[in-house]
Chains A and B, each alone.
Chain A
Amino acid sequence: MNAPLTAADGEPLKKKLAREQRLKQFKAVALVAPLALFLLLTFLVPITSLLFRSVDNPEVVTALPRTSQLIRDWDQRGLPSDVVFAALAEDLVKAKAEGTLADVTKRLNMEISGYRSLLMRTARKMPLQLAAGESVRDHFIQIDERWGDPDHWHAIARNAESWSPYYLYRSLDLRETKSGTPVLAPQEERAYLSIFGRTMWMSLWVTVFCMLLGYPVAYWLANLPKRQSNLLMILVLLPFWTSVLVRVAAWIVLLQSEGLINSGLMALGIVDQPLQLAFNRVGVYIAMVHILLPFVILPSYSVMKSIPPSYVKAAISLGDHPFAAFWKIYFPQTLPGVAAGALLVFIMCLGYYITPALLGSPEDQMVSYYVAFYTNVTINWGMAAALGSLLLVATLALYTVYSKLVGTDRLSLG
């Protein structure tokens, strides 16, 4: 048996090394920790809380606590028992005093329109003043006959929990039946599925256009002498570094009906009257392709730079046609890098907001627009959070694929 190697102070070397390694790891973690903590508080927690908000359903439980508790035992057939009616009367008195009535009326009005006036009207008649021998239920139905309609009670029962899939279902154009199973909404009420479809569709086309225009340019630049390609690269990088707002403004100037493109086309006699290029799908495509094109050209360029030209030369010298050599030898080598670039462009497209908002018609808006709309205009945070969560899930799923394919540690910027 050999004695373990020891350091000068007699401590086993193995132990000393392990301690040294631990210390090193600890230092590395200590360096990363501030950023991790910072992102946690400014980025991850806000986004996670947005996810929770998409299933958050506090209004009914907060304003009508007794009713929500008792209605859970209701067998969902006919009308609830008198106890539930009495609890609602009690809750309405309290809600009126505490000022929580407005929220719950707004929430229930989303379920059945007219619920707001029903609750307001009933609350005004509270506290209960029962005639001799009159049941609470009869009194309610006497105030408003809608209380005799089980649907209005189903609406409360569905929201008697502090969370609900309501907003998520809505965002996918699903409606809940009385028992709570989701079914697809009738054709004329569907809205969001087509918005998600449009977002995907537009992102797909922008990606395709970017590839078709970007790949040849990257190829050209990669095969030019360094001096020339560096000079021409400035023409790609300068727009890339210019503010998106500046570029959108410039495109409006170019594309509008009195714009440079239309007046040029008319002066050349190609068209008699101005083409509609801005404030429609064409304008959005042009500006989005313009903004995202460098994201295809730059990574493709660096991939192509790393491919030795001798392979294609060898193929040609062996008798391949140059086109065939390109297609069989060069293109497959660029494919992984270029495909990764395309995926990144597609992911970025999905979240676009500014360009469609400024250059598109209402029919060209993508999911992000509706997230902003529900946050700022109609103040329906549940809907904003639900649409946002679905968009986020789609983005993150693709991002996971991307980081598995490319590896984020190999990501570089131009």
Chain B
Amino acid sequence: MATTFAEAAETVEHAARIEHVSKSFATPGGQQLVLDDISLDVAPGEFVTLLGASGCGKSTLLNLVAGLDRPSAGSIATDGRPALMFQEHALFPWLTAGKNIELALKLRGVAKTERRERAEQLLELVRLRGSYGKRVHELSGGMRQRVAMARALAQDSQLLLMDEPFAALDAITRDLLHDELTRIWAETGVSVLFVTHNVREAVRLAQRVVLLSSRPGRVAREWRVDIPQPRRIEDAPVAELSLEITEVLRGEIRRHGQH
């Protein structure tokens, strides 16, 4: 883990560089290959979505990039320790919203005197001014994910990893958080690697969509998304590209039913 982060200094031109990464897990039936020879770069400030059906190992790949697990083969280099956001908010219930953010600041070594102010700024960034003292259970699902986003941003890393962060939210809230994420990404210049199984979400958000095939996960295809932001999920170009990607995705899935 430490070595991976240390290598980062040499590869400043990439927020993340994933080279020939494979990952297999030991199962009762023998070694199971989950990721097979994945190579993928994320440029500084780039927004990339990883798209795939179940079993494509997209969460596994994110864990590897986050340094929570080691690849079986290949290498991953990131510029510093990436921040990770989960599908569940993963906020600590014994801390207030503000203190959750401050913990990230503290663990990063920010001086005590600056933490409060920085936490307030981050809450302001996710439009939650005045929620500093709120307990996690007092916040709605969407507000929790925004605090989680603020906490991830508090780590001040060049790369934000997001593991289906909006999948558990209702459609109205998810729509709004798409707008928020696009705005925050533009304001902060952070690179984002965003995992989802929702094609429209992928197209709505990303500059580049990477489709992974399933069992084992391989890079099946990539699309550049040149539709100007701000986009809406209902926009015709978004829908058009989504349709195209969905066709390819279904083709990938269909292969698994044929034997």
- Report if A and B associate in a common complex: no
Chain A residues within CB distance 8 Å of chain B: none
